């Protein structure tokens, strides 16, 4: 009996419920591992497949796309797609899709976890208790920054930026946002006020970044921009590391230009600037914004939905242009 199931290349192992569907409906080029493939393995895998699911750590450049001659769809297992040369994909007629919506809440929740952990020194507290050196309650111990009632500056007001803003209501925060796109956003509550990038940085007690990484947002926050922030302010980044100039951030933290940072993403993953780990006013997470079982399963299902559509000759619901 011939195997007529389409051939799928998976660059990484996905959560079990997704793998179960994948195994039932596709032939796999090879068993995926829980590790990034080498660039040569990635190319080889993509060149054999009708469809592929890749992750944000897989750099899909023009040459990789060029050799993937039978590939019809590249489903990126992420909402961000800065890892893919979209122009090259378009030129080769390769459809690229992403996974919006299903990870919005998970990422907004994690942003708040990081924000609170940074402002309230949660990780330092955990480390102290585990060390066995905690001597008991003290009026002056681990004093953090008040969050309630402060000003939250949001850079990038797409789905995730808005979800973060909605969560600020319970903290009675003033929401100020910056977006490069249309200022006409009648659907936003009137209390959310648009500001220039500079005004956001000058006004906010906490700045949180939710813009995609593009050539225009690469190092959007550098030494100049950090200098506009208050010395008591924090910056939180759950978007993409390269939106902040990491070296400038380290300098700003070391010299007290800003008070602290909560980072889930880095310029070079998995190798953040080595000084970051030495600064106690910084909370570092390993890019887990969307890491709930629910979100990660839904992301897989969105990839599969797009793949089925394209292989059946229908438009991909999440085609990125
Ligand atoms: C995304 O989807 O872009 C996230 O960074 C992955 O969690």
Dist. CA 77 → ligand 1 center (Å): 8
- Catalytic residue list contains 319: no
In the DSSP assignment, the letter for residue 77 is S
Atom of ligand 1 nearest to the CA of 239: 5
pLDDT of residue 254: 98
Residue 184 pLDDT greater than 90, yes or no: no
Instruction: Note whether 109 and 98 are same-domain residues.
Output: no
* Residues with a CB atom less than 6 Å from ligand 1: 56, 78-80, 103, 289-290
Residue 298 pLDDT greater than 80, yes or no: yes
Element (H, E) at 303: helix 293-311
Q: Which residue is catalytic, options 240, 246, 267, 296?
A: 240
Residue 174 pLDDT greater than 60, yes or no: yes
pLDDT of residue 239: 98
Q: Which residue out of 54, 78, 104, 211 has the highest number of ligand 1 atoms within 8 Å of its CB and is therefore the one to mutate?
A: 78
In the DSSP assignment, the letter for residue 171 is G
pLDDT of residue 321: 85
Instruction: Note whether 257 and 300 are same-domain residues.
Output: no
Instruction: Note whether 62 and 111 are same-domain residues.
Output: no
pLDDT of residue 180: 80
Instruction: Note whether 97 and 108 are same-domain residues.
Output: no
Q: Which of 192, 222, 210 minimizes the C-alpha distance to 79?
A: 210
- Catalytic residue list contains 178: no
Instruction: Note whether 223 and 258 are same-domain residues.
Output: yes
Structural domain including 92 reads: 7-102+293-311
Instruction: Note whether 46 and 71 are same-domain residues.
Output: yes
- pLDDT tens-digit series, residues 84-103: 999 999 999 999 999 999 99
Dist. CA 248 → ligand 1 center (Å): 24
Record the tokens describing residue 85, joined without a space: 């040369």
Q: Which of 309, 321, 301, 311 minimizes the C-alpha distance to 51?
A: 311
In a domain, 75, yes or no: yes
Atom of ligand 1 nearest to the CA of 98: 2
- Count: domains in the chain: 2
The C-alpha torsion from 135 through 140 and 145 to 147, rounded to 10°, is 80
Give the residue, 4 or 261, on which the prediction is more confident.
261
Distance of alpha carbon 6 from its chain centroid, rounded?
30
Q: Which residue is catalytic, options 167, 202, 269, 308?
A: 269
Where do we find the tokens 């902040």?
A: 244
Parallel, antiparallel, or unpaired for β 206-209 and 193-194? Answer: unpaired
pLDDT of residue 48: 98
- pLDDT tens-digit series, residues 212-255: 999 999 999 999 999 999 999 999 999 999 999 999 999 999 99
- pLDDT tens-digit series, residues 71-83: 999 999 999 999 9
Q: How confident is the model at residue 2 (pLDDT cuts 50, 70, 90)?
A: low
Q: Which residue out of 54, 76, 79 has the highest number of ligand 1 atoms within 8 Å of its CB and is therefore the one to mutate?
A: 79
Dist. CA 152 → ligand 1 center (Å): 22
pLDDT of residue 319: 98
Instruction: Note whether 276 and 168 are same-domain residues.
Output: yes
In a domain, 179, yes or no: yes
Instruction: Note whether 160 and 213 are same-domain residues.
Output: yes
CATH code at 257?
A: 3.40.50.720
Q: Using CA positions, which residue lies closest to atom 6 of ligand 1?
A: 78
What share of the chain in percent tops pLDDT 70?
98
- Catalytic residue list contains 193: no
Angle at 20 between CA 11 and CA 34, to 5 degrees: 30
**Is residue 150 within 8 Å of residue 205, measured between CB atoms?**
yes
Q: Which residue out of 15, 57, 77, 80 has the highest number of ligand 1 atoms within 8 Å of its CB and is therefore the one to mutate?
A: 80
In the DSSP assignment, the letter for residue 295 is H
Q: Using CA positions, which residue lies closest to atom 1 of ligand 1?
A: 78
pLDDT of residue 185: 72
pLDDT of residue 183: 58
- pLDDT tens-digit series, residues 131-168: 999 999 999 999 999 999 999 999 999 999 999 999 99
- pLDDT tens-digit series, residues 272-291: 999 999 999 999 999 999 99
- pLDDT tens-digit series, residues 256-273: 999 999 999 999 999 999
- pLDDT tens-digit series, residues 39-69: 999 999 999 999 999 999 999 999 999 999 9
Residues with Cβ < 8 Å from 82, sequence gap 6 or more? 56, 212, 213, 214, 240
- pLDDT tens-digit series, residues 7-44: 999 999 999 999 999 999 999 999 999 999 999 999 99
């Amino acid at each position: 009996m011939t195997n007529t199931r389409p051939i799928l290349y998976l660059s990484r192992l996905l959560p079990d419920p997704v793998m179960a569907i994948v195994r039932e409906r596709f032939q796999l080029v090879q068993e995926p591992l829980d590790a990034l493939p080498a660039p040569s393995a990635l190319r080889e895998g993509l060149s054999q497949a009708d469809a592929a699911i890749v992750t944000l750590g897989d750099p899909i450049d023009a040459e990789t796309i060029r050799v993937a001659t039978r590939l019809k769809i590249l489903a990126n297992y992420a909402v961000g797609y800065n890892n893919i040369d979209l122009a090259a994909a378009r030129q080769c007629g390769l459809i690229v899709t992403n996974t919006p919506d299903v990870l919005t809440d998970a990422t907004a929740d994690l942003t708040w976890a990081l924000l609170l952990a940074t402002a309230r020194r949660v990780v330092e507290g955990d480390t102290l208790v585990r060390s066995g050196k905690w001597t008991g309650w003290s009026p002056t111990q681990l004093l953090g920054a008040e969050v309630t009632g402060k000003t939250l500056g949001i850079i990038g007001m797409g789905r995730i930026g808005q979800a973060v803003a909605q969560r600020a209501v319970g903290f009675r925060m003033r929401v100020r946002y910056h977006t490069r796109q249309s200022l006409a956003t009648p659907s936003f509550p009137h209390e959310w006020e648009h500001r220039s990038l500079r005004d956001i940085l000058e006004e906010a007690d906490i700045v949180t970044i939710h813009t995609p990484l593009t050539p225009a947002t690469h190092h959007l926050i550098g030494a100049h921009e950090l200098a506009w922030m208050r010395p008591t302010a924090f910056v939180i980044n759950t978007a993409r590391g390269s939106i902040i100039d990491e070296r400038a951030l380290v300098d700003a933290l070391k010299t007290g230009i800003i008070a602290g940072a909560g980072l889930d993403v880095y310029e070079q993953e998995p190798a953040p600037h080595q000084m970051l780990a030495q600064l106690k006013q910084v909370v570092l997470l390993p890019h887990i914004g969307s890491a709930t079982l629910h979100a990660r399963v839904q992301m897989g299902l969105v990839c599969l939905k797009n793949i089925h559509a394209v292989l059946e000759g229908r438009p991909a619901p999440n085609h990125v242009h």
